[in-house]
Chains A and B, each alone.
Chain A
Amino acid sequence: MQVDFIFRIAAIGIIVAVLDQVLSRAGREDQAMMTTLAGIVVVLAMLVTEIADLFDNIRTTFGL
């Protein structure tokens, strides 16, 4: 895991925040909510993969 992973999450968060604002102001509240949810799902999927790798790494190193 490199530091650009953190910046990718930040970029997704900012893009989702901007899209949420734009869609809300355009009166498309449901699409804004779906965009927010989609962003959260994408970030969680990225995070879960990396945390699973970390846990496997710790399990292998410490013999758990």
Chain B
Amino acid sequence: MNMDIPVLLSFAVTGAVTAAILKKYRQEYAVAAGIAAAAAAMGAAVEAFIPALTLLRQLAAAVPNGTEYLSCLLKCAGTALLSELASAICADCGETALAKTALTAGKVAVLIFALPIFTDLVSTAFSVTGL
């Protein structure tokens, strides 16, 4: 599915306006409409990213260990996206503690996914310095 940026942004604006209208009648449905719009816009953005991802994979294949490093980077990026979205949904529902917990969990996961790159960097530094 090809998605124009204006159409994607219209998802967000439509959801915001619908949520603002629903807030007067039923607050819970306003939250649900906001979440639906955010999920729709995020899904469209992720699908629009796929062609760029194909190009990145081709470029990474030309570099030694590039595929592995790109996989780590993509896992970090995907985890960041998911944790930001979950945090925003919790904040919209008024649960600030849950929102911050989701963000912290995302940071921990990113750190774990980035460990192979740190390990390679340290071992390369040791091999270069002869330690």
Contacts and interface: CB of A to CB of B under 8 A. Distances in A.
Interface string B1-34: 0000000001100110010011001101110110
A9 to B, nearest CB: 5
Interface residues of A, number: 31
Given A9-B29, A57-B43, A57-B46, A64 B75 contact: yes
A44 B28 CA distance: 10
B49 interface: yes
Contacts of B40: 1-3, 5-6, 50
Interface in B59-74: 71, 74
Contact of A14 (B14, B22, B43, B82): B22
Given A1-B43, A62-B75, A10 B33 contact: yes
Contacts, number: 97
A50 B78 contact: no
B43 A6 contact: no
Contacts of A13: 22, 25-26, 28-30, 32-33
A49 to B, nearest CB: 11
Interface string A1-24: 111011101101110110000000
8 contacts: A6-B15, A9-B29, A17-B29, A47-B39, A62-B81, A63-B74, A64-B75, A64-B78
Interface of B: 10-11, 14-15, 18, 21-22, 25-26, 28-30, 32-33, 35-37, 39-40, 42-43, 46-47, 49-50, 53, 71, 74-75, 77-79, 81-82
